[in-house]
Amino acid sequence: MMGIKVGIIGAGSISEMHFESYKNNEEVSIYSVCDLNEERAKAKAEKYGAEKYFTNYHELLAVPEIDAVSICTWNNTHAEIAIAALNAGKHVLVEKPLCKTVEEAHAIEKAVQESDGKTLQVGFVRRFGTNTQVLKSFIDSGDLGEIYYAKASCIRALGNPGGWFADKERSGGGPLIDLGVHVIDMCWYLMGKPKVKSVSGNTYNKLGNRSHIENKSFYKAADYDPSQNSVEDMANAIIRFENGASLMVDVSFTLHAKEESIAVNVFGDKGGAEIEPKLEIITEKNNTILNSTPQIDALSFDFSKGFQNEINHFVSCVQGETETISPVQDGVEIMKILAGVYESSEKGEEIRFD
Ligand SMILES: NC(=O)c1ccc[n+]([C@@H]2O[C@H](COP(=O)([O-])OP(=O)(O)OC[C@H]3O[C@@H](n4cnc5c(N)ncnc54)[C@H](O)[C@@H]3O)[C@@H](O)[C@H]2O)c1
């Protein structure tokens, strides 16, 4: 198949990365845009030369020319829109997190199975960063041996974006589902996607959104309202896998921390690696420990390149050239982990998966 037509549903902040990456892909034409906010849909349609724009996604899905859609809406709409798109015969790239609950994740998985070979790719964009891809090639060739431990941390001292992000009904949760999803997935993917055995987690609602803080700016969603916040401000967890490996994670929107930080590491029996903030590979040779820094353009996540790689890969899948490296089953497994952390925290005990 030559030349595919795409529709983009949700024309907010992150959609810009989708629009730009589709624009740069010669196989693609951007055919339609949809957003509840008509002005936003119209502005993007004009900017990217789309033929049509809508405020109701069902109308976009009814356009027969469209082969594939990107879903860039609030998390509470991902399941509903992804299922409707698959039923309408479209290929789907859905932003992370796949959805809000494990039940929804299974419903999407079922729709993919019944879709007659349509691709659903989950937007785990960090998998497509150069640093992750380079490290994956070292892991695949055995340089780190068996990975038995990983550690992921993504801390904001002050950074609850407010708006829908802070509304549990629309987001499904706070920093765990928004930031944790990325760093947990990076580790899990590099660990070889082991099956999760149990999760023990804690979430805290101690500091609120701290909208009283002065003289320090932070990113705010378009519809920021300081009086609204129903999500956790930090979460931590230990995740056990069936192969004996474990993953420790902590994430926050706000915490009495000295500064913002991201640190993601994996450890194997032959070597280890730091992926963020800067790729570095730690090995042993001639009785000496080596810290090796690859000579690559970006040692930390390169945002535009990551999205371009993600979209190019999705387009190849839609054209039947390859199968997605980020399929619905991975979205389901990550959803189990995220929901497990919330459930464990609520019950005050470990959650086991059989
Ligand atoms: N991969 C990443 O690094 C990354 C970064 C940011 C956000 N995201 C994800 O992208 C999604 C959107 O986030 P954002 O930051 O762009 O939010 P945003 O608020 O800037 O944009 C979301 C848009 O979706 C529209 N919308 C919501 N429900 C809709 C519906 N039913 N039909 C049509 N339009 C609808 C809203 O009107 C809004 O314009 C979220 O799932 C978020 O988790 C991913």
Can you give the CATH number for the domain in which 206 is found?
A: 3.30.360.10
Q: Are residues 277 and 144 in the same domain?
A: yes
| CA 185/CA 189 separation, integer angstroms | 6
* pTM of the model as a whole: 0.97
Ligand 1 binding site (Cβ under 6 Å of any ligand atom): 9-15, 34-37, 40, 57, 72-75, 77, 95-96, 123, 125, 164, 221
Per-residue pLDDT reduced to its tens digit, 307-352: 999 999 999 999 999 999 999 999 999 999 999 999 999 999 999 9
Asked if residue 214 and residue 67 are part of one domain, the reply reads no
Residues 146 and 259 in one domain: yes
pLDDT at 173 over 70: yes
Of all protein residues, the one whose alpha carbon is nearest to atom 40 of ligand 1 is 74
Region 243-254 average pLDDT? 98
Same-domain check for residues 52 and 174: no
Give the pLDDT band of residue 243 (cuts 50, 70, 90). Answer: very high
Q: Output the pLDDT for position 126.
A: 98
On whether both 132 and 217 belong to a single domain, the answer is yes
Answer yes or no: do 205 and 108 share one domain.
no
Read off the pLDDT of residues 78-97 as tens digits, 9 standing for 90 and up: 999 999 999 999 999 999 99
pLDDT digits (tens, 9 = 90+) for 257-296: 999 999 999 999 999 999 999 999 999 999 999 999 999 9
Minimum-distance ligand 1 atom for the alpha carbon of 307: 1
Do 78 and 35 belong to one domain?
yes
The pLDDT of residue 354 is: 80
**Residue 308 CA, ligand 1 centroid: distance in Å:** 18
- pLDDT of 23 > 80? The answer is yes
Atom of ligand 1 nearest to the CA of 177: 43
Q: What is the CA(74)–ligand 1 centre distance, in A?
A: 5
Parent domain of 151 = 127-302+334-352
Mutate which of 95, 98, 334 for ligand 1? The one with the most ligand atoms within 8 Å of its CB, which is: 95
pLDDT of 223 reads 85
In which order are the strands placed within the sheet that holds 28-34? 52-54, 28-34, 4-9, 68-71, 91-95, 120-123
Q: Is the pLDDT of residue 2 over 60?
A: no
Domain count for the chain, please give it: 2
My answer on whether 77 and 215 are in the same domain is: no
Q: What is the mean pLDDT of residues 224-238?
A: 96
Q: Give the pLDDT score at 1.
A: 44
Q: Is the pLDDT of residue 255 over 90?
A: yes
Query: How far is it, in rounded angstroms, from Cα 108 to Cα 224?
Result: 30
Mean pLDDT, the chain, integer: 97
Are 221 and 89 within one domain?
Answer: no
Compare 223 and 303 and report the one with higher pLDDT: 303
Question: In testing the pocket of ligand 1, which one of 8, 9, 36 has its CB within 8 Å of the most ligand atoms?
Answer: 36
Q: Please check whether residues 165 and 107 belong to one and the same domain.
A: no
Judge whether residue 221 has pLDDT over 90.
Answer: no
Which residue, by CA, sits nearest to atom 43 of ligand 1?
Answer: 96
Mean pLDDT of 199-210: 97
